[in-house]
Amino acid sequence: MIPPIASRFVAGETPAEAIEYVDGLNDRDVAAILNLLGEHYHERPPADEDAAAYRDLVTDIADSDVDACISVKPSQIGLDVGEDVFRENLESIVETADDHGVFTWVDMEDHETTDATLDAFEDFARKYDGDVGVCIQANLKRTEGDLERLADVPGKVRLVKGAYDEPSEIAYKQKERVNEAYRDYLEYMFREFDDGVAVGSHDPAMIEHAAGLHDEHGTDYEVQMLMGIREDAQTELAADGVETYQYVPYGDKWFSYFYRRAMERKENLLFAVRAVLGR
């Protein structure tokens, strides 16, 4: 059982608990991106098990009629075992999701996985008529070229600032430079992408910038934020008619995820401290 201190950031240990949480989230007109926690498996059995769990989750989403899609980490479904294992498991998930009308996102991990992730995304996005999305990180210096490559690929692209501590030779390290790149890439995407733009950010300035670009270009867009962070803003965006998604993790590997969320922002750490102290 997940303790109350972690339940702000994790929706439960089981699919049923996650679906129940999403049902309440939908009452606020916020959709969900469900993620089964797990990553960096170096043997095939756990990768295959999580791939099977995702296929079952797709069925649960379709049966429950909640407004939700799924998001999968490449290293969770076999990329650290082999690219062939990753692609086999990913296609099994995408095919099942496509059959049930559920969208599949592919998360981006560190820079060593970028090429394999983008190659798989492009192949399956074309094969399954755009029912696949991928995450792109603005802090990587290669991202301009990646976005140019993806501009005419069906499917969606989620732009985030980037959370991995990458080497300075391949990534922007200064916050101001990452923000500049994020703005530039949003402008490019709103001009060039036909299948919509996913704004993966909690930064009010970037969300406001996206709204202005939408007014200028008419490109469809959505805003994606994490569970437990700026949830009032998520509800307000949805009430204003902005398509809004919350990234909702669940599963028994919740502790390491909760620890990262608690440590990455001062507000999250204070929340955790207050919860422990009962204040």
Active site residues: 107, 158
Cβ count near 9 (within 10 Å): 23
Q: Which of 72, 83, 26, 44 has its CA nearest to residue 246?
A: 26
Distance CA 129, CA 123 (A): 10
Question: Helices in the chain by DSSP H: which ranges?
Answer: 15-26, 44-64, 83-99, 114-127, 143-150, 175-192, 204-217, 231-239, 254-264, 266-277
Phi, psi torsion values for 16, nearest 5 degrees? -60, -40
In the block, tokens 């501009």 appear at 151
* Cβ atoms 41, 74 nearer than 8 A: no
